[in-house]
Amino acid sequence: MNITTEPLPDYVEKVIKQVTGKTWEELGNDVVFTVGNNLHARCEVPKYLMVHELVHQKQQSESPEKWWANYTNPAFRYQQELEAYKAEYKYLRVHFKAESFEVAKEWATHLSGEMYGKCVSYNKALLDITRQ
């Protein structure tokens, strides 16, 4: 994975705007995006976040353009994010067990909120992420 601070490709900015109503800049510099083998990040990337983004890299291995086009679909978006969050949760359970459930609650808040275009309910997200 190649980490870059470069702007996102236009087609990705368009999808993000469509899903969240915001640009990357408006979402803030602690939000990162994987586009193919590039991780667009303007912050430090902790190991657990890298675990999440590596799942997206793998999901996009066939075609980043196709993946990002599909990302506007809430069911697809949820399925892809769930896979990434489950991997991240598995990592946290090993390395940061005490905090892991509190962190999962934050993710469930994000997934059911504006940032992911409200693609799921809070309770479903929390159950799905933490289910082994």
Name the site residues for Zn ion (rule: CB under 5 A): 81, 84
Residue least distant from Zn ion (Cβ):
84
For tokens 């069911």, name the residue: 75
Distance in Å, CB of 100 to Zn ion, minimum: 17
Burial 4-27 (b: 16+ CB within 10 A, else e): eeeebbeebeebbeebbeeebeeb
Distance in Å, CB of 119 to Zn ion, minimum: 11
- Nearer Cβ to Zn ion (88/98): 88
Distance in Å, CB of 83 to Zn ion, minimum: 9
Distance in Å, CB of 99 to Zn ion, minimum: 19
> Residue length, the chain?
132
Task: Name the amino acid, one letter, at 55.
Answer: V
- Nearer Cβ to Zn ion (81/128): 81
Q: Please, is 81 exposed, middle or buried when counting C-beta atoms within 10 Å of its C-beta (0-12, 13-18, 19+)?
A: buried
